[in-house]
Structure 1
Amino acid sequence: MTDQLTLFGAKGSGAVAVEAALTLIGAPYRLIEAYTWDHDDPASGDLVLAANPMRQVPALVLPGGEAITESAAILIWLAEAYPAARLAPLPGDPKRAQFLRWMSFVSSAIYSLYWVKDDPARLVPDPAGHAALTERTLERIAQCWGIMDSQVTPGSYILGDELSVLDLYVNVVSRFRPRRMRFYREAPKMAACVKRVDQDPRLAAFWKERMG
């Protein structure tokens, strides 16, 4: 048992949003790289099985040994466990409902689609259908960004004038295909927010190192 958090993650993955939150919080943690998509190094991806039988990152292990999976759940938990960092509207805050709404939306409507996009054979065995499935999936991701953008009223950040883990989550997921330029077109209101998070002096070097 250890007195610090253990994060199973990977450079360039959705787990980077959790790393960013931990960086802002200043909480000590141990990072175990688990590249679950690397077919040439399956042992790396298998490392996360100790914490997540789904073989997916991120997975956060608490000092007592309890594991938390699912990126949105981890980010919400961190914001609540470290309220002094002010990374989310807490229960009772008027912005709390929309915070929970959009954290869940990014997770369920957008991020979950990468399970299909990254390996179309998971749903379509015939390789002849893979290109079409990938294209339709990417279009759905872009459409969902547009739907979210039409429903939010950002300030400096998505929920207003305070950075939250929602901004970190969107910042990372919007880097995935169909990539940032498409995101900027579909979500012009949120575009300024993610650019601001890109340039946050507390995270600028971090983004370069962990997302490239």
Structure 2
Amino acid sequence: MRILLVEDEVRMAEMIKRGLEEYDFEVLVAFDGEMGKKMALSMMPDLIIMDLILPKINGLDLCKEIKATMPELPIIMLTALGTTDDKVEGFDAGANDYLVKPFDFRELHVRIRALLQRNSQNTSQMGYVLRIADLEMNVQTKVVKRADQIIDLTPKEFRLLEYFLRNQSRVLSRAEIGEKVWDTTFDTGTNFIDVYINYLRKKIDRNFSVPLIHTKSGMGFILTDQ
């Protein structure tokens, strides 16, 4: 199993790397957030361990950016910041687990093993494919089809549709979509979310007999085939 460690303190990185290698993991090391992002996208690790305070791109932003592209990739925050608020921020950014320094290597190993096992089971069960009616999305290959017709989506349209698919038959408010898909607080003075919803509708609903994206007046939007 390949682990990417993003840690700017060289001595700490070397210590963690040696400890993980004793458990037979292959360990790649990045010393800043920018390097970590490049290595995560190019080297396809099985799991990432990252500090919260990093140069160039901090751990919270790095976690969000990686999860936007590879939502199934397990991420452990490993940091000296251990307050409840710090942990909430880490989990809100998409981290799967949070461990405070100093830590016991045995505990880190147990958490890594649990996440890798869970991710393997989820991957097997999901097959990376999300479906509703005759629409399907492969989150690994980034291929979207409806009635076996390939639909070309921009990265933001893809993420928007993925969020709809993971929350089928649930009304999603504009505020929730803005926060979860755009990582921003929704500004009621703009209509960019409505614009993207319309873009997406044109691609997945137009020319098909059953519309999937519906507007709930005053509440938001819902993906359903009912």
Per the TM superposition, whether the score is higher than 0.5 is no
TM range (shorter): under 0.3
Question: Larger helix proportion, structure 1 or 2?
Answer: 1
Structure-1-length-normalised TM-score = 0.28
Structure-2-length-normalised TM-score = 0.27
